[in-house]
């Protein structure tokens, strides 16, 4: 195991022993098997939005990059690359220490046919809830294939945005402010559908189809 991996594991384990206020620790952890998964897990300008976009743009979270200098936002998340196959010791340390480091829920994404990170993270972090994200279609069977007694919630391939919404739904049971943010987001979706419906009706189909040209 490399010195860099050793150092990161030690940082995670040291943080797990510290007594920090809940508001200074991230509520959500986002992990992925490779930085090549980042466009799916975070979101891409050229693709669909991801978990990062849902949390920051829609629900008012901030990304926490230092426990010693937390963001001003009350609700935060952290992001790591943790490979189940290349750095299994790091994956184990991350999941094993997650609850003691203040996390309430983990979003874990992995690609390929052997997308084991969500499953293994869920097993090690239990009873902390884990939401699995298959980064690709071929990853779905691997992510959802947990045996009875080893729970893992999962979203459809590539939909880390939905994973973030689900994570905040868990948190909203204890935090009324997050419930309100979820309701506001959903009402915004409803307003968008209503506006499109009205425009289609009032403009008529041909004009509606060319309205942005």
Check whether 179 is labelled as a binding-site residue.
no
Check whether 86 is labelled as a binding-site residue.
yes
**Please, are residues 71 and 174 in contact by the beta-carbon 8 Å criterion?**
no
Structure tokens at 27: 């509520």
Structure tokens at 165: 């919404």
Angle, CA of 138, 128 and 167, to the nearest 5°: 65
Number of H helices, E strands in the chain: 9, 6
Q: Is the dihedral of CA 57, 20, 98, 2 positive or negative?
A: positive
| C-alpha–C-alpha distance, residues 191 and 201, integer Å | 15
Where does the chain have alpha helices with state H? Answer: 3-16, 38-41, 51-53, 88-97, 117-125, 140-144, 160-172, 176-203, 205-209
Q: Is the dihedral of CA 146, 150, 156, 157 positive or negative?
A: negative
Question: Annotated binding site, which residues?
Answer: 34, 37, 86
Question: Annotated binding site for substrate, which residues?
Answer: 34, 37, 86
């Amino acid at each position: 195991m490399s010195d860099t991996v050793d150092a990161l594991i030690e940082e995670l384990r040291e943080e797990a022993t510290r007594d920090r206020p809940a508001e200074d620790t991230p509520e959500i952890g986002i992990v992925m098997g490779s930085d090549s998964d980042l466009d799916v897990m975070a979101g891409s300008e050229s693709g669909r939005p991801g978990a990062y976009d849902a949390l920051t743009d829609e629900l008012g979270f901030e990304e926490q990059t230092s426990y010693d200098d937390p963001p001003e936002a009350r609700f935060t998340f952290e992001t790591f690359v943790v490979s189940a196959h290349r750095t299994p010791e790091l994956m184990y340390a991350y999941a094993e220490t997650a609850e003691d480091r203040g996390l309430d829920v983990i979003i874990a994404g992995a690609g390929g046919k052997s997308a084991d990170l969500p499953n293994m993270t869920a097993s090690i972090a239990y009873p902390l809830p884990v939401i699995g994200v298959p980064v690709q279609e071929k990853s779905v069977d691997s992510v959802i294939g947990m045996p009875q007694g080893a729970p893992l919630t999962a979203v459809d391939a590539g939909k880390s945005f939905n994973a973030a919404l689900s994570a905040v739904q868990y948190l909203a049971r204890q935090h009324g402010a997050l419930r309100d943010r979820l309701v506001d987001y959903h009402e915004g979706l409803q307003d968008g559908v209503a506006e499109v419906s009205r425009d289609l009706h009032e403009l008529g189909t041909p004009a509606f189809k060319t309205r942005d040209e």
